[in-house]
Amino acid sequence: MKNEKNQNLGLEPWRFKAIYVLLGLILVIYVIRLFSLQIINGKTYLAQAEENRLSGISVSTTRGNIYDRNGIVLAQNVASYDVVITPAYLPTDLGTTENIFRELSALIDIPVTNGVINDTTVKFFTPCQTEFGIKEIVLIGDTNEPFSPVKIACNVSQEIAMTIRQKEGEWQGVGVAVQQVRQYPTGNMTSEVIGFLGPITAEDEDYYVDRGFVSRTDKIGFAGVERELNDILMGKNGSRLIEVDNAGKEIRDVQPPVEAVPGHNVTLTIDSRLQSAARSILIGELDFWNTYLNRILSLNGVIIAMNPKTGEVLAMVSYPNYENNRLERIIPEYYYNQLATDPLKPMLNYAISAEQPPGSVYKIVASIGALNEKVVTPEQQLECPGTISVIQKYSPNDPGTIRLFYGYDRAGHGICDFIKGFRLSDNVYFYKIGGGFNDEVPGNGLGAFRLAEYAKALGYGRYTGIELPGEVDGLVPDPTWKRIYRAENWATGDTYSTAIGQGYVLATPMQTITSFAILANDGKFMQPTIIKDITDDQGNIIKPFEPELVWDITKDPLINVLDGNNKPTGEKIVVEPWVVAKVKEGMRQVVVDGTITKEVLFVGENIPSAGKTGTAEYCDNVAQAKNICQQESWPTHSWYVGYAPYDDPEIIVLAFVYNGGEGASVAGPMVIKTLNAYFDLKSIGSNSDILTSTIP
């Protein structure tokens, strides 16, 4: 009985079996899990472990410098000092750390503590653009990557940086990081050409990340040469593959580092001295007229200077512009918004991005076309009254209505041959040769289609190809264009307006100076450029400057689409050299005895020049808002293009003034003073002695 009782006190056998089965199942589960981790998914987890153990670091390259043609620095890299703290290296004693923070705060003028950290503030935390104090910034850095330096203050003075360097032994964990930032020594004197840098944008991120750049660290060009030649200037980042521990501390290089490839340096055709002079001249003339008239005539203008024989742009001023040296490190939101909302659009390069009616400077188109097509001869005399009456038609069968067309001088200019009509810029003369008039100029004169063809031969209606972003192509209208884009028939008056650069015609200042450069260079269209040469970081020229001939209008044929009666023709023609010479003679007479004569400021005319004035009526949204588009009294833009010496041109200059009024009075003096400045600078040599103090 006793033994039976003792046996009943033990566990029943089935309970042991259940325990064994449970233990066996647990063991099987562990074995299966281990098999899955080590055999089935072993490579995946090994790769993840390696990824956690290994870290790739981008080694920043050096962006290339930008120089003017005389070696003046227009954009360069300079050292910037950032105060950093590595949280993991701070003293373990909290009292010592507090003392370091207090002493550092007094030096860099950033509070020890300020603000409350939460998930939202951490998400939008940006070093050096935060109101957090030192403690909060260090806490964020310690939470994310304790062994990575976190920026406390950026772009501190060299004096502060040296003080911190001297105290690195006392201030454990505090240091100075040196990085390169872009600097623009000439500032707004050249900002419309040079541009500025900004962070890699979301739309460009994949492109640059695939090429080894870091989206939140590296910068790209946002405007000007910095943007257009970004890939040339930017170089290529290097890389390091390092081993780190679980706290992110660097242990060793896993493989040899890949060295960064520096960006190439770019030398521009721009002469900073002439650029400075042209800018001062433009601003000075605008100030004079605004003061003289006791009202704001204009706050907007362009001056471009070019070598017509090579296509080199020597100066390009678009006013107003912006201070790119205020955008060296970051793009301040307040300043960017100020620029973006300014009605004068200072970030727009008006030289290449503004399409305007060219007015009378466009008369060179009708001139070469009418002479070359023998619509008139140079000696043929036409009556040039102040007003003519034309039957305006929209189709051949349209009976038409009478429309008056006016010259700028209602008294007229009497009898005009080509030279007189050109030097006095007589509108009626160009109406007649452009669109025909009774028996004097039978038929349709040169006609709309041929006007368009000769305009294109002179570079209108196309991109000039200048190495700057944002260029527009203008507008060369013809009946086909109007039918497609306006759903209207071409009218007789449209041809008349086109012949004098009005109506639908639009051109940029860059296109306009290019068209005159072609004629000044005896018909040779040289590719406009602002790139002199490109060199590597050792100074070796890898792309020297070579003038590029686009075409020669005296040799390369135009397709004469329609004749003067709008009948198709397959004839191919060239512009006869004597036609170019005759138009150049007309431009010379503009200076000698024409619309610009009273404004000639060359001392004794020792250097003979030639040119053409333009006063272009306009009615854009700005004029409409001011209600100043009044019939027979429309507001006008001011144009003048001049080159010198007349017999062997080496420089051509254009001035455009928005709402500037008469071309001879406002734009003319700007061009002449810029020409004088060029020859004065030439007389003292091409050494790099720019006086930056004269930069407005």
Q: Where in the chain is the domain with CATH 3.90.1310.10?
A: 54-72+186-268
How many angstroms separate the CA atoms of 173 and 170, rounded?
Answer: 9
CA dihedral 586, 591, 597, 601 (to 10 degrees): 170
* CA atoms within a 13 Å half-sphere pointing along the CA-CB vector of 67: 15
Q: Quote the pLDDT of residue 516.
A: 98
CA dihedral 485, 486, 490, 495 (to 10 degrees): -80
The pLDDT tens digits for 627-673 are: 888 877 899 999 999 999 999 999 999 999 999 999 999 999 999 99
The pLDDT tens digits for 311-340 are: 999 999 999 999 999 988 788 888 989 999
Q: Between 569 and 46, where is the model more confident?
A: 569
Mean pLDDT of 343-365: 96
Contact 372, 579 (CB under 8 A): yes
Helix axes 363-372, 577-593, angle to 10 degrees: 140
Helix axes 427-435, 492-499, angle to 10 degrees: 130
How many angstroms separate the CA atoms of 244 and 478, rounded?
Answer: 69
Rounded to 5 degrees, what angle do the CA atoms 38, 41, 46 make?
Answer: 75
Q: Quote the pLDDT of residue 497.
A: 96
Of the candidate ranges 77-86, 347-356, 412-421, 606-615, the one whose mean pLDDT is the lowest:
77-86
pLDDT confidence tier of residue 371, bands split at 50, 70 and 90: very high
Q: Quote the pLDDT of residue 533.
A: 95
Cis peptide before 645 (omega within 30 of 0): yes
Q: Quote the pLDDT of residue 249.
A: 60
88 CB-contact burial (10 Å; exposed 0-12 / middle 13-18 / buried 19+): middle
> Does residue 60 carry a pLDDT above 90?
no
**272-620+638-686 is classed CATH 3.30.930.10:** no
Q: Quote the pLDDT of residue 135.
A: 86
Strand ranges (E), 110-248: 150-156, 174-183, 197-199, 219-221, 238-244
> Does residue 569 carry a pLDDT above 90?
no
Q: Quote the pLDDT of residue 604.
A: 42
pTM: 0.86
Q: Quote the pLDDT of residue 541.
A: 93
Closest CA to 282 of 306, 311, 304: 304
pLDDT confidence tier of residue 693, bands split at 50, 70 and 90: very low
Mean pLDDT of 154-172: 88
pLDDT confidence tier of residue 244, bands split at 50, 70 and 90: low
The pLDDT tens digits for 540-552 are: 999 999 999 999 9
Query: Would you say the C-alpha torsion 547, 553, 554, 556 has a positive or negative sign?
Result: positive
Q: Quote the pLDDT of residue 29.
A: 80
> Does residue 434 carry a pLDDT above 90?
yes
Q: Quote the pLDDT of residue 686.
A: 54
The pLDDT tens digits for 439-493 are: 999 989 999 999 999 999 999 999 999 999 999 999 999 999 999 999 999 999 9
SS3 674: helix
Q: Which two tokens stand for residue 22?
A: 């449970």
How many angstroms separate the CA atoms of 238 and 256, rounded?
Answer: 11
SS3 119: helix
CA dihedral 589, 592, 594, 595 (to 10 degrees): 120
Q: Quote the pLDDT of residue 429.
A: 97
Q: Which two tokens stand for residue 575?
A: 């512009």
> Does residue 522 carry a pLDDT above 60?
yes
459 conformational bin, left if phi > 0, alpha if psi -120 to 50, beta if neither: left
pLDDT confidence tier of residue 138, bands split at 50, 70 and 90: confident
Average pLDDT taken over every residue of the chain: 87
Helix axes 363-372, 448-457, angle to 10 degrees: 110
Q: Quote the pLDDT of residue 56.
A: 62
> Does residue 207 carry a pLDDT above 80?
yes
Mean pLDDT of 372-396: 93
pLDDT confidence tier of residue 77, bands split at 50, 70 and 90: very high
Instruction: Name the amino acid, one letter, at 681.
Output: L
CATH top-level class of 54-72+186-268: alpha beta
Q: Quote the pLDDT of residue 11.
A: 61
pLDDT confidence tier of residue 613, bands split at 50, 70 and 90: very high
How many angstroms separate the CA atoms of 353 and 359, rounded?
Answer: 18
- Percent of the chain scored above 90 by pLDDT? 56
> Does residue 692 carry a pLDDT above 50?
no
> How far is CA 26 from each of CA 13, 19, 462, 537, rounded to the nearest angstrom?
20, 11, 79, 67
How many angstroms separate the CA atoms of 521 and 645, rounded?
Answer: 12
The pLDDT tens digits for 661-671 are: 999 999 999 99
Instruction: Name the amino acid, one letter, at 579.
Output: V
Q: Where in the chain is the domain with CATH 3.40.710.10?
A: 272-620+638-686
> Does residue 242 carry a pLDDT above 90?
no
Element (H, E) at 564: none
Give the strand pairing for 531-535 and 541-543: antiparallel
Mean pLDDT of 104-111: 89
Q: Which two tokens stand for residue 127?
A: 């070093």
Contacts of 553-561 with CB under 8 Å at 24 or more apart are 553/368, 553/457, 553/458, 553/518, 553/523, 553/525, 553/580, 554/522, 554/523, 554/580, 555/523, 558/453, 558/454, 558/456, 558/457, 559/453, 560/450, 560/453, 561/449, 561/450, 561/453
Closest CA to 54 of 220, 300, 259, 245: 245
